[in-house]
């Protein structure tokens, strides 16, 4: 399509922004554009989306082969530095989220999976048994959020890809599809979990069950390019009531009394508010700036922990202690890697993913096939196969003791020292629920995402129990990026769990069906066995982020530290809501994008229509 078509709805100058819209959406990312599309569909409401980043449809966004191109283009990313992490030898971590129209869905690894039924039931349970934030309540929106195309029959047969279309829909323009080819070794790696007692093979990645399964990529199957919130909810939509301004940073929401009545924004390179523009919202301001920036905007607007706001000389509109608390991400890479015979030519299951880098002939063939037919190895993004296993399967002898020890903790012990009583109460509720999950065969804790190559070790910890914070810098709340503190491994239970992950990984690679590949542990080495030595391995290797930040504007009762209610309206004020990953109270046992699409669909339906 000519870029002029894409650009038709972008207002190129702040002066073109009208004085007032029904809804203002802050952030044109994964959730923001989903909600904007749904709110403008029937023509009843006008919407302005204000996005910090720019529009870009170049190959650095669209290419999917090799894991997606967006992350390679730093201009599409916010890259913050976390504060040094004392439990990670004072290392800092790069905090990476999308910064362009489409948000993180335009830069991510394109993996699509959902969490387990218990994850979504956990979200609603503090509101009582009638809450529709539950698996049953969200499943229709998982179906609505994506257009599912099954794998082609040859690939499905060759690789044993099971799927069940009843878990999917076909009405969205955001696509979930499968590569036309995948690495043969994956079939073997997945089947090998059959040797692990308790590991299951659910009928579909969307079934809400833990186990070992294939899952789709966020790619348009016709073009094999990235399908994301912009292509699905913005491109080719020509509605007078749907306007967007890019390159603009929202500084704050302003209030009339306790009602949010609009926002103030500046050009994204501004260093002060001299060039600011004010725009009003008749019905609601919706903040969809993502887990890192949503708390910054709320706090800078006077909605947050009172003492923090006072230290920044911001007048308090509502004292909401939970804003910026309860920060979670999936810890990644635990320091155990396995290599099967020969990174080299002896590896018997070619082609494998390393052939794209190391075998020029194979690469040339793959390029030619993709150019001719949009098929072949370059339709694989970052991966489509993994295990998501319950903790009792991982640590059959230790899970009970670890759950009991976690359950008996004083909930305040590992939270920030000055945590508000409502935050502690909220954590106590999470603790009870997560202790149950540690004993459950229906929740997934351990994720090894499989590459189908000679070397494996991409481990993701799905339900960490340490909690971090994201807060404004009091001396410069608006123009300095917020302070991101993962507080990684502050709760020792996280270390206990990941030590068991290393032990399980050893068991997996020792199963009989993998023996022919002679897997050997390349790190840390089988001689490292004691709890304390394995704990050191975890501390030395882990990254606190898989780029799945959630939780900083959590949906929970206010007395449990919640920031938004079940309608995603912010406590203590009116006409202000949050719809993005920050409302997720506890991480799902899956990566986060599919869940964000579903919650945005649900919010659009429930709250606004
Ligand atoms: C590198 C990377 C890889 C990932 N891989 C996967 C994966 O393979 N599978 C998976 O399921 N999940 C993955 N994720 C996570 C997933 O993409 C996110 O959880 C999800 O997209 C978050 O959606 P969101 O709407 O909360 O935020 P975003 O999509 O990040 O949207 C927030 C938007 O707000 C804008 N914004 C921020 N501040 C302001 C401001 N002050 N004013 C105006 N606009 C503002 C941002 O520019 C952005 O466009 C990955 C994420 C990243 C970053």
State pLDDT tens for residues 395-421: 999 999 999 999 999 999 999 999 999
Q: Which of 34, 67, 97, 286 to mutate to test the pocket of ligand 1 (most atoms within 8 A of CB)?
A: 97
Residue 350 has pLDDT above 90, yes or no: no
Give the DSSP letter string of 95-163: EEEE-BTTGGGGTS--B-----HHHHHHHHGGG-TT-S-SHHHHHHHHHHH-EE-PPPHHHHHHHT---
- Token pair of 284, please? 């609601």
Please enumerate, as own/partner, the contacts of 317-321 that have beta carbons within 8 Å and a separation of 24 or more.
317/255, 317/258, 317/572, 317/573, 318/258, 318/570, 318/571, 318/572, 318/573, 319/572, 320/558, 320/563, 320/570, 320/571, 320/572, 321/420, 321/422, 321/423, 321/561
DSSP label at 41?
Answer: T
Residue 125 has pLDDT above 70, yes or no: yes
- Token pair of 27, please? 């952030």
Q: Which whole number is the average pLDDT over 75-90? A: 97
Q: Which of 168, 203, 314, 340 is nearest to 253 (CA)?
A: 314
Q: Which whole number is the average pLDDT over 41-61? A: 94
Residues with CB under 6 A from ligand 1: 26-32, 50-53, 71, 96-99, 103-105, 107-111, 249-250, 288-290, 293, 297, 382, 547-548, 580-581, 591-594, 596
Query: What digits encode the pLDDT tens for the residues 484-496?
Result: 999 999 999 999 9
Which residue, judged by its Cα, is nearest atom 14 of ligand 1?
108
Query: What digits encode the pLDDT tens for the residues 562-597?
Result: 999 999 999 999 999 999 999 999 999 999 999 999
Distance 596 CA to ligand 1 centre (A): 9
Which ligand 1 atom is at minimum distance from the Cα of 291?
26
Q: How far is CA 457 from CA 75, 200, 404, in A?
A: 29, 21, 29
Residue 9 is predicted with a pLDDT of 81
Q: Which of 64, 593, 594, 603 to mutate to test the pocket of ligand 1 (most atoms within 8 A of CB)?
A: 593
Percent above pLDDT 70 for the chain: 96
Query: What digits encode the pLDDT tens for the residues 470-528?
Result: 999 999 999 999 999 999 999 999 999 999 999 999 999 999 999 888 899 999 999 99
Phi (first) and psi of residue 514, to 5 degrees: -100, -5
Distance 406 CA to ligand 1 centre (A): 31
Distance 581 CA to ligand 1 centre (A): 8
Residue 13: pLDDT band with limits 50, 70, 90:
confident
ipTM computed for the complex: 1.00
Q: Which of 257, 314, 255, 305 is nearest to 285 (CA)?
A: 255
In whole angstroms, give the CA distance from residue 558 to residue 421: 11
Q: Which residue has the tokens 């952030």?
A: 27
Query: What digits encode the pLDDT tens for the residues 132-183?
Result: 999 999 999 999 999 999 999 999 999 999 999 999 999 999 999 999 999 9
3-state secondary structure of 378: helix
Query: What digits encode the pLDDT tens for the residues 447-464?
Result: 999 998 888 999 999 999
Which ligand 1 atom is at minimum distance from the Cα of 113?
11
DSSP label at 561?
Answer: T
Distance 91 CA to ligand 1 centre (A): 24
Residue 345 has pLDDT above 60, yes or no: no
Residue 213: pLDDT band with limits 50, 70, 90:
very high
Q: Which whole number is the average pLDDT over 218-225? A: 97
């Amino acid at each position: 399509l000519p870029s002029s078509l894409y650009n038709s709805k972008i207002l190129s100058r702040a002066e073109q922004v009208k004085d007032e819209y029904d809804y203002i959406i802050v952030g044109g990312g994964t959730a923001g554009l989903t909600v904007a599309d749904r709110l403008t569909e029937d023509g009843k409401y006008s919407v302005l989306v204000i996005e910090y980043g720019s529009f870009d449809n170049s190959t650095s966004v669209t290419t999917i082969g090799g894991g997606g191109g967006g992350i390679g283009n730093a201009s599409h990313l916010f890259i913050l530095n976390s504060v040094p992490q004392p439990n990670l030898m004072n290392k800092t971590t790069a905090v990476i989220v999308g910064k362009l129209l489409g948000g993180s869905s335009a830069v991510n690894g394109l993996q699509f999976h959902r969490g387990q039924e218990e994850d979504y039931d956990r979200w609603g349970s503090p509101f009582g048994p009638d809450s529709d934030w539950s698996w049953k309540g969200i499943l229709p929106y998982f179906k609505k959020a994506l257009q599912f195309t099954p794998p082609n029959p040859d690939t499905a047969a060759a690789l044993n890809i099971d799927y069940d279309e009843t878990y999917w829909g076909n009405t969205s323009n955001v696509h979930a599809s499968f590569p036309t080819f995948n690495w043969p070794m994956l079939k073997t790696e997945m089947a090998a979990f059959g040797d692990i007692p308790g590991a299951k093979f659910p009928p579909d990645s969307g079934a809400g069950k833990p186990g070992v399964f294939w899952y789709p990529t966020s790619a348009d199957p016709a073009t094999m390019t990235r399908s994301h919130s912009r292509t699905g909810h913005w491109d080719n939509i020509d509605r007078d009531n749907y306007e967007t301004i890019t390159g603009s940073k929202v500084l704050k929401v302003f209030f009339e009394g306790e009602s949010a009545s609009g926002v103030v924004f500046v050009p994204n390179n501004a260093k002060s508010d001299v060039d600011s523009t004010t725009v009003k919202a008749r019905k609601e301001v919706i903040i969809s700036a993502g887990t890192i920036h949503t708390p910054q905007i709320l706090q800078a607007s006077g909605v947050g922990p009172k003492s923090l706001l006072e230290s920044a000389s911001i007048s308090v509109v509502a004292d909401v202690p939970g804003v910026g608390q309860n920060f979670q991400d999936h810890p990644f890479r635990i320091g155990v890697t396995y290599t099967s015979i020969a990174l080299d030519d002896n590896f018997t299951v070619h082609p494998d993913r390393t052939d794209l880098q190391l075998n020029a002939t194979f690469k040339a063939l793959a390029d030619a096939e993709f150019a001719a037919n949009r098929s072949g190895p370059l339709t694989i993004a970052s991966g489509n196969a993994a295990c998501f296993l319950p903790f009792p399967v991982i640590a059959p002898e230790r899970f009970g003791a670890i759950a009991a020890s976690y359950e008996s903790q004083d909930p305040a012990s590992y939270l920030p020292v000055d945590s508000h009583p409502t935050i502690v109460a909220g954590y106590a509720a999470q603790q009870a629920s997560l202790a149950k999950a540690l004993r459950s065969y229906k929740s997934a804790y351990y994720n090894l995402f499989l590459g189908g190559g000679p070397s494996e070790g991409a481990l993701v910890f799905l339900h960490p129990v340490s909690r971090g914070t994201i807060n404004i810098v009091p001396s410069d709340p608006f123009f300095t990026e917020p302070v991101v503190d993962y507080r990684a491994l502050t709760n020792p239970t996280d270390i206990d769990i990941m030590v068991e992950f290393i032990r399980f990984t050893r068991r997996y690679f020792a199963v009989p069906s993998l023996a022919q590949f002679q897997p050997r542990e390349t790190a840390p080495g089988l001689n490292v066995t004691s709890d304390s030595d394995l704990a050191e391995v975890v501390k030395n290797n882990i990254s606190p982020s898989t780029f799945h930040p959630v939780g900083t504007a959590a949906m929970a009762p206010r007395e449990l530290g919640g920031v938004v209610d079940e309608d995603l309206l912010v406590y203590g004020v009116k006409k202000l809501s949050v719809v993005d990953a920050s409302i997720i109270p506890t991480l799902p046992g899956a990566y986060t994008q599919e869940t964000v699409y579903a919650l945005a669909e649900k919010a659009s339906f429930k709250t606004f229509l």
